[in-house]
Amino acid sequence: MDVKNLSTVSFCIVFLCIVSFLSVVAGCSGEQEKTKVAQQSSGAIVSDTTLLATIADGDKPPQAIPGHAADPASQDQPASFQVIFSESGTGVAYVANNGGMFFVVHNQNRGKKYSAIGTIVLSSDGRRIAYGALADGKWRMVVDGKEGRSYDTVLSPIFSPDGQHVTYQAQEGSKWYVVVDNTPNAGTTASYTTPQFSSDSTLIAYVEAAASNSKMRLIISDLTFGKQSVKESIGDLLFTTNKANTRIAAAQVVDNKHRIIDFNFAKPDAVHEGRLYDLIEQLTLSDDGTSMSYCALNGRNRLMVLDSRVEQLPDGRAPELPVIRPDKKGVGILLGSQNRIYLHQSFISSKNKGKKYDEAANLTYSKDGSYAYAARTGKNWFIVVNGIEGPAFDRTIEPLFSPDSRYVVYRARKDSKRFVVAADAKDGRIIRQHPSYEQVFQPVFTAAGTTIGYGVKDGSKLIWKVEPL
């Protein structure tokens, strides 16, 4: 249900193979497009294996909606439950079907039945839940079992970092609204980017796309929409916050040129203005918000920008955003050329191109500069760690480095079995292949850094597993 506004002019066209990659993700993890975890930091992560819920005998998984995109390999497979775990391991929810009606079970509490259920989101502590629900031809946002006002359409909910507030986009008639805690803004006939909360949960930011007779506007507002800071001519695609939600970066159009402005979320009037380029794409901030990277075009020169540094960028289309190394010494980007994808790293001494693959995704860096990503050659998927290919599986996805940079963990699938792999962060050598389950969800490192936690579906049991590396 999420809608992303796409720029009509772009030299970094999204590579088509990423579509197939995302569809197969559901096959590896058991997650569906309509289920995801709130993006905010989780705080304390449960450090012991815990049975969070048991699916009742009478609950049936929803059938796929006819005509909707799905992994072709799963077309003949039995329907699976849409399950979501909180990233802290403290909550779980799933969608079930009974007589053609759908309902959500959150921490063993059964919700009301509806004609359809939209995107499900849990607060990071797992205690709160929000999702769109269809009843009598109208959509409502259901938060902790309470229905909000009705709309023609509601998009994915987002919890604030403190878990106390919920925002989402909604459409009624010809107007779109940003809604916070059931209070809509004034609305517009244009659309919005996905709203973002500030780190302290007191502000919200979003971009209002241009209507036919107006300019785009970046709006930073309090949660009642009473006090707002507005910036004109901001590109609706190029808007981002860092992982901690302390800084905002966005594109601005000046005399048919593009530049990036950035500022502290809490102090939107102190704006830093970047250089002008013919075109800017693929904007990203470092996790701490102190560095910024994007692709740019000056005439025929394709460039990679990292803060004040600029370097020539090879030919290729980018299926994913650039990734800034934690040490800020360089930036990596996966580039597609002639139906192949390779890793390019800017601003570091090695200029050797990465090996080309049929597909590649999920580039990530460790604190010490090691890198890893998932790649495919033919039917084999593996994790590439510092240029070294790990063992082949039917699917690998989302490598994650340990806090001490010694290990990399990732999910894998082999012969219909799904499991987590722990590998050496220098050469990708497998240290441990964890037990297999029907569904396995993205792992996280617990506070000690020597164990990982992740959700699994084991028959009817929904378990938060904690395992040593």
User: Block means of pLDDT (10 residues each) for the chain, length 469 residues?
Assistant: 34 33 35 37 78 94 54 53 94 93 96 96 96 97 97 97 97 96 92 93 89 74 96 74 95 90 94 95 95 96 97 92 96 94 89 84 96 98 96 97 96 97 94 96 91 96 95
- How many separate domains does the chain show? 1
Report the 3 state secondary structure along 244-311.
Answer: CCCEEEEEEEECCEEEEEEEECCEEEEEEECCCECEEEEEEECCCCCCEEEEEEECCEEEEEECCEEE
Q: Name the nearest CA neighbour of 106 among 44, 50, 53.
A: 53
For the entire predicted model, the pTM comes to 0.85
249 within some domain: no
101 within some domain: yes
DSSP 28-71: HH---TTB---SS---S---S-EEEEE--TT-BPPPPPTTS---
317 within some domain: no
* pLDDT (0 to 100) of residue 66: 42
* pLDDT (0 to 100) of residue 190: 82
442 within some domain: yes
Which are the contacts of 303, defined by CB distance < 8 A and separation ≥ 6? Answer: 277, 295, 296, 297, 310, 311, 312, 313
- Torsion, Cα 330 331 337 340, to 10 degrees, reads 100
146 within some domain: yes
Helix (H, G, I), strand (E, B) or coil at 22: helix
Residue range of the domain that includes 75: 31-157+437-469
328: left (phi over 0), alpha (psi -120 to 50) or beta: left
* pLDDT (0 to 100) of residue 214: 57
